[in-house]
């Protein structure tokens, strides 16, 4: 089942990121570049670094110039994340290229890769919520509250994992079909963002 593989890789990526806990530490992806595993590790590493960028930019005492720097880093990271999700979908489109959908086949609300994207974010939420339950500088109310949230996140991961595995099984059986729309982000495109193309005149 792909979810078990993905969850294991996500956990590895998060733990290895936190060995250095440095946004700019080079990605040391242990998987073959042509493999799905490589994309899954890369995806979660991007998410993990961006998680910490989001922490930095929310510092209420941050200098406005520094905040702008991080906002632009986050925009760049978001584009990298989106590209990686689309690479994962391309992998599945190729994998299922020879599958002929049944006449009553239906489309899912999201592609396999965008569901896997949510699974990666869940892995990060679980990791960081677990850290909150291990703190020694907070009271029992904080620990108990975070434990309750962690339990919900773990249940959510279980449900999402089951759904992803079922979706891929149904696509493979022709019961569902993939239809991928490339993300048409406009704010980074100098031809589509009116502020950017006005500035270029």
Instruction: Tell me the per-residue pLDDT of 75-98, one tens digit each, with 9 for 90 and over.
Output: 999 999 999 999 999 999 999 999
Q: Which of 42, 34, 56 is nearest to 14 (CA)?
A: 42
133 falls within a domain: yes
Domain residues for the domain of 122 are 2-190
Q: How far is CA 129 from CA 10, 17, 124, 142, 153, in A?
A: 15, 16, 8, 11, 9
198 falls within a domain: no
115 falls within a domain: yes
195 falls within a domain: no
Burial class from Cβ neighbours inside 10 Å (0-12, 13-18, 19+) for residue 13 reads buried
In terms of pTM, does the model score above 0.85?
yes
92 falls within a domain: yes
Number of domains in the chain: 1
68 falls within a domain: yes
147 falls within a domain: yes
pLDDT at 1 over 90: no
Range name among 10-19, 85-94, 124-133, 186-195 with the lowest pLDDT average = 186-195
The model's pLDDT over 28-63, given as tens digits with 9 standing for 90+, comes to 999 999 999 999 999 999 999 999 999 999 999 999
Residues whose CB falls within 8 Å of the CB of residue 144, separated by 6 or more in sequence, listed in order: none
84 falls within a domain: yes
Average pLDDT over residues 109-132: 97
* Res 187: pLDDT: 62
The model's pLDDT over 146-161, given as tens digits with 9 standing for 90+, comes to 999 999 999 999 999 9
Distance CA 145, CA 150 (A): 9
């Amino acid at each position: 089942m792909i979810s078990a593989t993905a969850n294991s890789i996500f956990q590895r990526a998060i733990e290895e990121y936190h060995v250095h806990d440095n946004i700019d530490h080079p990605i040391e992806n242990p998987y073959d570049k042509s493999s799905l595993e490589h994309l899954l590790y890369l995806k979660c590493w991007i998410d993990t670094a961006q998680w910490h960028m989001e922490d930095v930019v929310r510092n209420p005492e941050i200098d406005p110039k520094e905040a702008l720097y991080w906002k632009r880093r986050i925009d760049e990271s978001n584009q990298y994340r989106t590209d990686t999700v689309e690479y994962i979908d391309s992998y599945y489109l190729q994998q299922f290229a020879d599958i002929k959908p049944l006449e009553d086949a239906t489309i899912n609300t999201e592609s396999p890769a965008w569901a896997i994207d949510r699974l990666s974010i869940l892995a990060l939420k679980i990791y960081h919520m677990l850290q909150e339950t291990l703190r020694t500088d907070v009271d029992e109310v904080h620990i108990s509250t975070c434990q309750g949230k962690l339990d919900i996140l773990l249940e959510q991961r279980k449900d999402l994992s089951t759904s992803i595995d079922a979706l891929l099984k149904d696509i493979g059986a022709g019961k569902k079909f993939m239809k991928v729309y490339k993300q048409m982000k406009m704010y980074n495109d100098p031809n589509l963002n009116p502020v950017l193309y006005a500035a270029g005149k």
